[in-house]
Amino acid sequence: MTTGSLRRLRTLAAATVLAAATLSCDDQAPPGNEVPATTATPIKHVIIVVGENHSFDNLFGTYQPRAGQTIDNLLSKGIVREDGSPGARFDRAQQLRGLDTDTYQADTASTGAYETLPRPSTTAGIGLPQWVPDMRFPANLPNGPYQISKYAPYSAYTGDPVHDFFQMWQGVDGGRMDKFVWVEETSSGEGSISMGFYNMNPYHDVAGNSNSGDAPIFKALADRYAISDNFHQAVMGGTGVNFQALVSGDAAFYTNTNLDGTAAVPFEQELDDPDPAAGTNNSYTRSGAYVSCADDTAPGIAAVREQLRRQGVERSNCAPGHYYLITNRLMYWDQTSSRPEVLGLGPDSYTLPPQSNPTIADVMTAHGISWKYYSGGRGDDPVVFASSVDGVPVPFQIYCGLCDPLTGYSSIMQNPAEEAKLQSYGAFLDDVHHGTVPAVSFVRPFSALTGHPGFSTGDLYEQFLQDLIDQVQSDPELWASTAIFITTDEGGGYYDSGYIQALDFFGDGTRIPLIAVSPFAKRGYVDHTYYDHVSLLKFIERNWGLPTISGRSRDTLPNPIASPDNPYQPLNGPAIGDLMNLFSFSDAHKGT
């Protein structure tokens, strides 16, 4: 990117969020961008920014909060030391070999611990030899979490861990968190990528070079604002299913193409079968996309539902005759080009049929709350990145249809007024510049800037975020009424040591980062309340006085009640919070 275009990005991006928060109840906004006056808090603008594929421990595993705060991470548990080396309790995170040769098991038998971890794979990482052991890492890594940046810089591309639905259930292994490496080895031969983490504290790399710490922007935001150390991806699995939960609080399912939401049966090759193929140890029979999770006789289903029963959860949220999505699929109304294309359905189309579940967008529209969903790389996006941003490579632009979930919903795509609210990142910058940002904004960065391992880095995601935040804070009026929530779509298959609450068949999954950037965010606060992606929807609903999305969406779950001795595990589960505990509305930040 040229200096001039970068300056424009920063000016407009900052103004974007600024404009979002600046519209007070007395301001006059253009039609379609009205900001409702009545909110339960002083927050008038919510901006939700979703990067990709980092667990909480992967980024915040060594974070040390301000005095008076506590945190649950690798360092606090003694699993690693401040310099990233193994700690006194390193064995708490050791990985075991598993055995599954008959029918799929979510918690498998163990055949012993790894003596050392296998080298991580490069997978398809940019600039790396493809799908070979990554020779930057030693062949004898200790059996437990290791610091990636001792061998490959924080700004470097790495491999991408496996993180599909059934594999994640196995890696978590009933809460023991001890089969991440075995799942990688048996499913895709990826070695031990999943056990890597970054270190926010000073350290020396393998060559003896000193480093002041990784993820400096994330650390600075955590020091200044509020974070959660108990926020989770809503669904076990990858990007597509978690973006569905982010807008619907529910799971997508296979339908016919009549746009009436009638459940249908997928093509056979689209049915997932995680039972081991004959003669293998955990090599799945078929990697499909849908499961009939109300049917205990279907492959893999009984094992997951048994996990729920062991945790006292009887509600699977699986309707009979429905085949639910558990992995990535394209949206029916594709937006790769400037004119949406309807993708056909066939045995090899890899397309999610039209969805009729209600979404938070439907609820907001019905109650006059302005909203937009901005996706980087959409076909009509006027913002074109050059080969670098401040010297950091941005090698490609690609539109992520999975990350633009509302393009799969008939209530949006069959209504021109609603479809018009699905816009590009360039439109987001324009709205910032013109003061027309809506009450609720979802922002999906360009793929190259999401932090996704393999084709992005945490460093690039941090730069994208800082551009937004700087611009918001440059307008005192806007900053005075905005909350920016920063998170990822899922943990990416990376190891995490935190508690996971069973809510239903679909999850929750591992912890992921959540940062609340706002003048009302508690300064340097670490919130232990139990949350997941749907908590973002609960915040919107509570702030604007909205009803829940549906009778089966997760926003119907109560807020957690927990004991002071263990604030992480709700006593009244299943339960997820509404994020209000991250804020103090009587003690706003002065300035930034």
pLDDT, residue 105, reads 95
pLDDT, residue 472, reads 77
Q: Check whether 372 has a pLDDT greater than 50.
A: yes
Mean pLDDT of 427-455: 89
Q: Check whether 23 has a pLDDT greater than 80.
A: no
Mean pLDDT of 353-368: 96
Buried b (16+ CB within 10 A) or exposed e, 257-292: eebebebeebeeebbbbbbbeeeebbebbeebbbbb
pLDDT digits (tens, 9 = 90+) for 329-354: 999 888 776 666 777 777 788 899 99
Which range has the worst mean pLDDT, 11-15, 90-94, 540-544? Answer: 11-15
Mean pLDDT of 357-370: 97
Phi, psi of 521 (to 5 degrees): -65, 135
Which range has the worst mean pLDDT, 9-13, 335-339, 403-407, 439-443? Answer: 9-13
pLDDT digits (tens, 9 = 90+) for 378-390: 876 655 554 543 3
pLDDT digits (tens, 9 = 90+) for 400-423: 999 999 999 999 999 999 999 999
Mean pLDDT of 91-106: 96
Question: Residue 551 gets which letter from DSSP?
Answer: S
Q: Which residue from 592, 569, 558 is spatially nearest to 470, judged by alpha carbons? A: 592
Q: What is the pLDDT confidence band of residue 212, given thresholds at 50, 70 and 90?
A: very high
pLDDT, residue 431, reads 82
d(CA 93, CA 70): 20
Q: What percent of the chain has pLDDT over 90?
A: 77
Q: Check whether 234 has a pLDDT greater than 90.
A: yes
Q: Check whether 245 has a pLDDT greater than 80.
A: yes
Fill in the amino acid letter for 179.
K
Q: Check whether 17 has a pLDDT greater than 80.
A: no
Q: What is the pLDDT confidence band of residue 373, given thresholds at 50, 70 and 90?
A: very high
Q: What angle do CA 186, 187, 188 make, to 5 degrees?
A: 105
* Whether the Cβ atoms of residue 19 and residue 459 lie closer than 8 Å to each other: no
Q: Which residue from 147, 121, 571, 547 is spatially nearest to 367, judged by alpha carbons? A: 547
Q: Which residue from 258, 406, 396 is spatially nearest to 333, judged by alpha carbons? A: 406
Q: Which residue from 284, 291, 300, 361 is spatially nearest to 323, judged by alpha carbons? A: 291
Q: Where exactly are the structural domains of the chain? A: 49-63+215-582
* Whether the Cβ atoms of residue 58 and residue 197 lie closer than 8 Å to each other: yes
Rounded to whole angstroms, the maximal C-alpha distance in the chain is 70
pLDDT digits (tens, 9 = 90+) for 52-95: 999 999 999 999 999 999 999 999 999 999 999 999 999 999 99
Mean pLDDT of the chain: 89
Phi, psi of 231 (to 5 degrees): -105, 135
Q: Check whether 2 has a pLDDT greater than 90.
A: no
* Whether the Cβ atoms of residue 560 and residue 576 lie closer than 8 Å to each other: yes
Q: What is the pLDDT confidence band of residue 155, given thresholds at 50, 70 and 90?
A: very high
- What does 131-151 look like in DSSP terms, one character per residue? TSB-TTS-TTEESS-EEGGGT
Fill in the amino acid letter for 218.
F
Mean pLDDT of 218-245: 98
Paired tokens of 167: 């594999």
Q: Check whether 5 has a pLDDT greater than 90.
A: no
Mean pLDDT of 475-496: 94
pLDDT digits (tens, 9 = 90+) for 282-335: 999 999 999 999 999 999 999 999 999 998 898 899 999 999 999 999 998 887
